[in-house]
Amino acid sequence: MSTLQLTKDNFNETVEQNGFVLIDFWASWCGPCRQFAPVYEKAAEDNPDLVFGKVDTEAQAELAAAFEIRSIPTLMIIRDRTVVFSQPGALPAPALEDLIKQARGLDMDEIRREVQEQEQGSAE
């Protein structure tokens, strides 16, 4: 599966209907973004069970602002509608492969418990 262009119109639906979504926030003028693109495309080919999305920060400024994207490229991983990873910078292929492997191994029940505790703590 190739990458999916994410927009404000399909973003929520994509995240809600898929348990594991990787998102590359990028722009056409960004050199590191262009260098990272083939690495990201190859990872998408190597992991056809996952959804790989791309957000053009120029065309989708609202999405970039909603996720407080300050530097591009930024890679984000959302599992079960929870952001489990977000970091700026282009990754080399082995680091991206390792990151995907780690994200696959996350205990999402534990992550949800931690998020719930944090939300309760900030509400108090």
* Bridge partner list, 82: 79
114 labelled catalytic? no
Could you report the average pLDDT of every consecutive run of 10 residues in the chain (124 residues)?
89 95 97 96 96 97 94 96 94 96 93 86 75
Predicted local confidence at residue 16, as pLDDT: 94
Q: Which one of 6, 33, 44, 75 is the catalytic residue?
A: 33
Q: What is the pTM of this model?
A: 0.91
* Bridge partner list, 79: 20, 82
71 labelled catalytic? no
With both helix axes pointing from N to C terminus, report the angle between 31-46 and 93-104 in degrees, rounded to the nearest 10: 50
For residue 121, count other CB atoms closer than 10 A to its CB.
8
